[in-house]
Amino acid sequence: MTSGENPVVAEAPAEPAAISFADLGLDGAVLKALSDVGYETPSAIQAATIPTLLAGRDVVGLAQTGTGKTAAFALPILARLDESQKSPQALVLAPTRELALQVCEAFEKYASRMRGVHILPVYGGQGYGVQLSALRRGVHIVVGTPGRIMDHLDKGTLDLSQLKYLVLDEADEMLKMGFAEDVETILADTPDDKQVALFSATMPSAIRRISKQYLNDPEEITVKTKTTTSSTITQRYLVVAHQQKIDALTRILEVENFEGMIIFVRTKSVTEELAEKLRARGYSAAAINGDIAQAQRERTVNQLKSGKLDILVATDVAARGLDVERISHVVNYDIPTDTESYVHRIGRTGRAGRSGDAISFATPRERRLISAIEKATRQELTQMQLPSVDDVNVTRLSRFDERITAALEQSDRIEAFRDIIGHYVKHHDVPEADVAAALAVVSQGESPLLLEPEPERPAREWKDRDDRGRGDRDRGDRDGGSRGGRFDDDRGGDRRGRGGPQLATYRIAVGRRHKVEPRQIVGALANEGGLRREDFGAIQIRPDFSLVELPADLPRETLERLDGTRISGRLIELRPDRGAPARRNDRDGGRDGARPARRFDRPARSYDDRPPRPYDERPSRTDADGGSGDDRGGDAPARKPRHKPGRDD
């Protein structure tokens, strides 16, 4: 397709006039699904884009992540979907597996009132078998990363000959990660009469060129964002694994001086589950969601207003229109995937000039959402650390002191108990301080007042990995001695990263000749192993391998996840670096003139030299555990398309 030299440019107001989704041309099952999820009025990008796409025009949308652009392209596609056609009608390209999964979930949510609509996520790291069986059964919408889509096209397992709609989501990010050639190959191999929507936060020259070459007379829509969160709200976030969220929340509740709190979660079932767990821990908590009757909802909100209830666990829909002065804190237990929801949520606190606190939980894979929120709201969120045992104990002692002080102010009751204590001291010959301590024990009950110190984590022995079947390779230490049980770095002793962990040097089987860069290594290891930026030390790229400083006590599950990781199509074969035996001083390599044997002189085995595996188990050159970087969230170099027999011959 070709485009006009001067595309129509429209600027969407940051705050569109109050219109409904029905006013945009949507109807039927799509509107019912939007009502189910609580969408009332379209965002700026939605109001400007949906009518244009429904009219069949190509679109270039300039908007930040979190402005609601997923619904802007998903709703028009669903509204015009032909459910009888089983071959893919729509293809959405996303730069990372996380974004692809989010887009897929959004499609499923908006299609909940439509029968028989099949949406398939296609990304590296997932077995081919799942994707192939779904494609054979028939899918209407494919959401995937460029590398894995290219793999399916190369193998002939994805038929795009009947494609009607193609979306490039976060196009600028895809180009930064080295997917320009893949994206252009996919665009060129799809029908000329398809409708294309390109969304990008910026408009670099490469995006402009793609727009001119592959889009047909597109309308360019720009959404200007502004700061939409109150300056009276302190915004923080905590990076925490999903399974540790409840413990992290409990510690935060211990140390934060809150009056009333709303905790936001994504689903109705989690509201009840989390509220029950909090009540078991001694907090007055209740849940509200779309299934709760209006009368019960009003009673719960009134309890929160009166102080009979301190914590409300809610979904976005249930909390709309909620205005309670006591709410001092908002916690995003599940961080929202769009900025608009984030702004609505934290707007429940800090109202009418009052101060408020907003705390968001983000798993390592959700860090990009924090960046998106900061970009869209133009406000920085402060990263907080999980409160330590000492922090919790200091708070508990302080509150215990306050309880004693409050009791001492009740002079009438104190006088009565003073006689009782005196009688006990006189007849049992026990110091008054001991009696007071005993009464504190009685008051506290079975629960200990203070938390026990956290046990120190023992240094992980690398031999654990060998015992799991990977084999002891009889590695020697750098000084030529036998390998010890604990892996001690021989290069810098007790080195520590920026975040404090002791670092050790690991070796990976990709180097300069494989055209790897430090950002690829960081992206792959961080995304696949859940590592933080402060977990990385120095990175040295050698001709055939690289040395990376990582925490010496990497958890077993992290090592297992990294075991199958690939960079530039090669297994990294992560292992601790023990170095090579020292060379002899004589220049001829030893007394007999032979060069001393060095363990790392042999070349790394080529990925292509390995015996073939069954088709469904064959790794993709673009898997997240290897390849182009499409599913790692990191950057990757551009890759030349492989010659495809039949396409040019």
What is the mean pLDDT of the segment spanning 604-613?
Answer: 42
Architecture per CATH, domain 463-617, reads as: 2-Layer Sandwich (3.30)
- Whether the CB-CB separation of 562 and 528 falls below 8 Å is answered with yes
Centre a 10 Å sphere on the Cβ of residue 266 and count the other Cβ atoms it contains: 17
Residue 385: closest CA among 238, 534, 235:
238
Centre a 10 Å sphere on the Cβ of residue 119 and count the other Cβ atoms it contains: 22
The band of 526, judged by pLDDT with boundaries at 50, 70 and 90, is confident
Angle subtended at Cα 613 by Cα 612 and Cα 615, rounded to the nearest 5 degrees: 115
Which of 81-85, 204-208, 496-500, 513-517 is predicted least confidently?
Answer: 496-500
Looking at residue 382, what is its pLDDT? 92
Q: Which fold has domain 233-388?
A: Rossmann fold (3.40.50)
Which contacts qualify for 292-299: CB closer than 8 Å, 24 or more apart? 292/318
Q: Residue 301 corresponds to which tokens in the numbers above?
A: 């909100």
What is the mean pLDDT of the segment spanning 439-454?
Answer: 67
Residue 234: closest CA among 386, 395, 382:
382
Residue 589 reports pLDDT greater than 90:
no
Most confident of 314-328, 378-392, 399-413: 378-392
591 or 572: which leads in pLDDT? 572
| Cα 544 to chain centroid, rounded | 32
CA distance 254 to 507: 42
Alpha helices in 55-96, H assignment, sequence order: 69-79
User: pLDDT tens, 173-224?
Assistant: 888 888 888 999 999 889 999 999 999 888 888 888 999 999 999 999 987 6
Helix (H, G, I), strand (E, B) or coil at 601: helix
The band of 9, judged by pLDDT with boundaries at 50, 70 and 90, is low
Alpha helices in 530-602, H assignment, sequence order: 556-563
Residues comprising the chain, all counted: 649
CA distance 27 to 609: 56
Centre a 10 Å sphere on the Cβ of residue 633 and count the other Cβ atoms it contains: 23
Per-position b or e across 248-263, b if 16+ CB within 10 A of its CB: bbbbbbbeeebebbbb
What is the mean pLDDT of the segment spanning 83-93?
Answer: 92
Helix (H, G, I), strand (E, B) or coil at 332: strand
The band of 475, judged by pLDDT with boundaries at 50, 70 and 90, is very low
Decide: residue 277, CB within 10 A, 0-12 exposed, 13-18 middle, 19+ buried. Answer: middle
Helix (H) or strand (E) holding 114: none
The band of 445, judged by pLDDT with boundaries at 50, 70 and 90, is low
CA distance 51 to 21: 10
339 or 449: which leads in pLDDT? 339
Residue 376: closest CA among 241, 211, 252, 225:
225
Looking at residue 196, what is its pLDDT? 96
CA distance 423 to 444: 23
The band of 435, judged by pLDDT with boundaries at 50, 70 and 90, is confident
Looking at residue 41, what is its pLDDT? 82
- Kindly state the DSSP code that residue 469 receives in the 8-state scheme: I
Q: Residue 112 corresponds to which tokens in the numbers above?
A: 């909940």
Residue 499 reports pLDDT greater than 50:
no
Looking at residue 532, what is its pLDDT? 79
- DSSP code per residue over 507-528: EES--GGGT--HHHHHHHHHHH
- Whether the CB-CB separation of 343 and 315 falls below 8 Å is answered with no
Using a pLDDT cut of 90, give the percent of the chain over it.
29
User: pLDDT tens, 622-637?
Assistant: 443 334 444 444 444 4
Helix (H) or strand (E) holding 9: strand 8-12
- Mean pLDDT score of the chain, rounded to an integer? 76
The band of 226, judged by pLDDT with boundaries at 50, 70 and 90, is low
CA distance 104 to 88: 14
Q: Which fold has domain 8-223?
A: Rossmann fold (3.40.50)
Centre a 10 Å sphere on the Cβ of residue 477 and count the other Cβ atoms it contains: 15
Residue 450 reports pLDDT greater than 70:
no
β-pairing verdict for 311-314 and 285-288: parallel
Cα dihedral 556/561/565/571 (nearest 10): 50
Domain 463-617 in the same topology as domain 8-223: no
Break the chain into its structural domains and give their ranges: 8-223, 233-388, 390-444, 463-617
- Whether the CB-CB separation of 523 and 635 falls below 8 Å is answered with yes
Quickly tell me which residue has 């292509």 as its tokens: 608
